[in-house]
Amino acid sequence: MTNAAKLDALIAREQDRFLKLHPRSAKAWAEGRQHFLYGGPSHWMRRWAGGFPVYVEDAGGAHIRDIDGHDYVDFCLGDTGAMCGHAPEAVTQAALRQLKRGATTMLPTEDSLWVGAELSRRFGPRYWTLTTSATDANRGAIRIARMITGRPKVLVFSGCYHGGIEEAHIEIRDGRVGMRNSIHPNAVDHAAVSRIVEFNDVGGLEAALSHGDVACVLAEPLMTNFGMIPVAPGFHEALRDITRRTGTVLIIDETHTLSSGPGGYTQLYGLDPDILVAGKAIAGGIPAGLFGLSAEMAERMWKLVPFANPRQRQSAHLGIGGTLAGNALTVATMRAVLESVLTAENYEHMIANATRLAGQVRVLIANQRLPWHVTQIGARAEIMFMPEPPRNGADVIAQRNGDLEMLLHAFYMNEGILVTPFHTMLLMCPATTPGDVDRHTSVFERFIALLREAGLP
Ligand SMILES: Cc1ncc(COP(=O)(O)O)c(C=O)c1O
């Protein structure tokens, strides 16, 4: 039997076990398919490796219980949306208090004053706008970059993900630029709105920005959505230097790298973006995103759109944001997160657990001489089935073993571990315990034994 056939057989076995273990979820999924376009309320929910998602009965701290009665240690944490843990007390109380006083009014609350000041203290940028998601924050940031520069294009790095951002739905595959693997073309002419280069490619970046048609570079500090691609020494300095020289706005998307520490990767490593974006966990699971502008960007913006123009009664919008953005509920929960949940002390605890997990997995990998590695950024660890950390998207495309990931993820679910379905990212929340980490390690050890028994890899 070939290795591929052995893997197929193991995946089929795990999916069969999954089906037997989850009869109620299987039934619910069949019912959900009657009314949702892709089976669940969001199309993302169809991607779980067991073949269908488990339906959640209850989520608290770092654990989820499904409707079949199984308990999971949750390292997916809503793909970062629940990095605060599930139902954190401070957020729950703040939400309840605010819900009783009105969720949304199109007027500010006093909580917003504290939140604005705290965001600047943590992340650096001076002027903030709240949105309903990180996607929306990226869209707003891009619009501002285009307004300020008068240029049409957005430069992204191959393998990136920044939410539903049309300009970023491309990749470099076999040296050619095309639509992202799983994204169907939609008649948008990406050549007119996007440029793309490989991550860590200073020469490619310099060449792409030399045309003078790029409004902004949209980048994560290091890439977290194609497995984890670490940043090469000197790349951030080059990125900042080239964007400045070419008059290109630098947008740093901290939505995932918020796991680095209280001020994200930006504060930890002294980055200096023109616009900083974040979202997901920032309001403890209540939909929210935000972008912050440097004082210089804000001055340029106010020249185009003056701060106060009360005579403009019609169409007074900026083409940015949504009705529910920055509402009282979001702001109250964001305050609770910043004040009581994503604190320096809790980050210390989360990072210690991620370090424990990464260390234990590295020992297992080394003992078994497996060609795999683990990368960690603060509270987030990523297991990748390739010997060295990738330098860019091309390395990931060339080396990624999707079937092995699929098998691991299906095995994880059968053994009570949840990870993000799209890659093996394990995230800690304040409620994650060393015992939770050790439970993962023992499952991972059994996974290696399963492969060995089958004569893999
Ligand atoms: C780096 C990054 N930015 C933005 C987003 C979009 O977040 P949302 O789907 O919450 O809008 C994501 C989602 O995974 C992300 O990973």
pLDDT single digits (tens) 302-338: 999 888 766 666 666 788 989 999 999 999 999 999 9
Whether ligand 1 lies within 6 angstroms of the CB of 330 is answered as no
Residue 413, H or E segment: helix 402-414
For residues 319 and 304, the answer to whether their CB atoms sit within 8 Å is no
Mean pLDDT across 388-411: 97
Q: What's the pLDDT score for residue 310?
A: 66
Q: What's the pLDDT score for residue 25?
A: 98
Rg (CA), the chain: 22
Domains and CATH numbers, the chain: 3-83+344-453 (3.90.1150.10), 89-341 (3.40.640.10)
Residues 63-100: b if buried by 16+ CB within 10 A, e if exposed: bbebbbebebbbbbbbbbbbbbbbbbebbeebbeebee
Whether ligand 1 lies within 6 angstroms of the CB of 225 is answered as yes
Distance 134 CA to ligand 1 centre (A): 5
**To which residue do tokens 């995932």 refer?**
256
Q: What's the pLDDT score for residue 385?
A: 97
How far is the CA of 359 from the CAs of 48, 218, 224, in angstroms?
Answer: 26, 32, 19
Residue 58, H or E segment: strand 56-60
What is the rounded distance in angstroms from the CA atom of residue 59 to the CA atom of residue 66? 9
Classified as helix, coil or strand, 65 is strand
- pLDDT tens for each residue of 143-185: 999 999 999 999 999 999 999 999 999 999 999 999 998 899 9
Q: Is the N-terminal amide bond of 457 cis, ω within 30° of 0? A: yes
* Bridge partners (DSSP) listed for residue 73: 63, 417
For residues 257 and 102, the answer to whether their CB atoms sit within 8 Å is no
For residues 372 and 413, the answer to whether their CB atoms sit within 8 Å is no
Mean pLDDT across 46-57: 95
Q: What's the pLDDT score for residue 73?
A: 98
Q: What's the pLDDT score for residue 318?
A: 83
Mean pLDDT across 382-405: 97
Q: What's the pLDDT score for residue 315?
A: 63
Q: Which amino acid is at 289?
A: G
| Most ligand 1 atoms within 8 A of CB, residue of 79, 135, 136 to mutate | 135
What is the rounded distance in angstroms from the CA atom of residue 134 to the CA atom of residue 225? 14
Distance 256 CA to ligand 1 centre (A): 7
| Most ligand 1 atoms within 8 A of CB, residue of 154, 162, 166, 422 to mutate | 162
Closest atom, ligand 1, to C-alpha of 254: 1
The percentage of residues in the chain with a pLDDT greater than 70, rounded to a whole number, is 98
| Most ligand 1 atoms within 8 A of CB, residue of 79, 224, 255 to mutate | 255
- pLDDT tens for each residue of 184-239: 999 999 999 999 999 999 999 999 999 999 999 999 999 999 999 999 999 999 99
Q: What's the pLDDT score for residue 422?
A: 84
For 337, the token pair is: 């997160």
Residues 397-428: b if buried by 16+ CB within 10 A, e if exposed: beebbebbbbbbbbbbbbbbbbbbbbbbbbbb
Mean pLDDT for the chain overall: 96
Mean pLDDT across 275-302: 97
Classified as helix, coil or strand, 167 is helix
Closest atom, ligand 1, to C-alpha of 160: 1
Q: In 3D, which of 221, 191, 223 has the Cα closest to residue 208? A: 191
Say which residues have a Cβ less than 8 Å from residue 305's Cβ, sequence separation at least 6: 147, 318
Which residue pairs, CB below 8 angstroms and at least 24 apart, start in 254-257?
Answer: 254/123, 254/220, 254/221, 254/278, 255/80, 255/134, 255/162, 255/163, 255/220, 255/279, 255/280, 255/289, 256/80, 256/220, 256/224, 256/225, 256/280, 256/380, 257/220, 257/221, 257/222, 257/224, 257/377, 257/378
Q: What's the pLDDT score for residue 309?
A: 67
Mean pLDDT across 241-270: 98
Q: In 3D, which of 396, 394, 376, 377 has the Cα closest to residue 386? A: 396
Mean pLDDT across 426-444: 98
Q: What's the pLDDT score for residue 205?
A: 98
Q: What's the pLDDT score for residue 375?
A: 98
What is the rounded distance in angstroms from the CA atom of residue 222 to the CA atom of residue 226? 11
Q: What's the pLDDT score for residue 1?
A: 87
Whether ligand 1 lies within 6 angstroms of the CB of 243 is answered as no
Task: For strands 275-279 and 249-253, give the pairing.
Answer: parallel
Q: Which amino acid is at 444?
A: F
**To which residue do tokens 């539903």 refer?**
164
DSSP string, 203-272: HHHHHHHTTS-EEEEEE-SSB-SSS-BPPPTTHHHHHHHHHHHTT-EEEEE-TTGGGG-TTHHHHHHT--
Of residues 133 and 318, more confidently modeled: 133
Mean pLDDT across 118-136: 98
Rounded to 5 degrees, φ, ψ at 100 are -70, -20
Of residues 371 and 181, more confidently modeled: 371
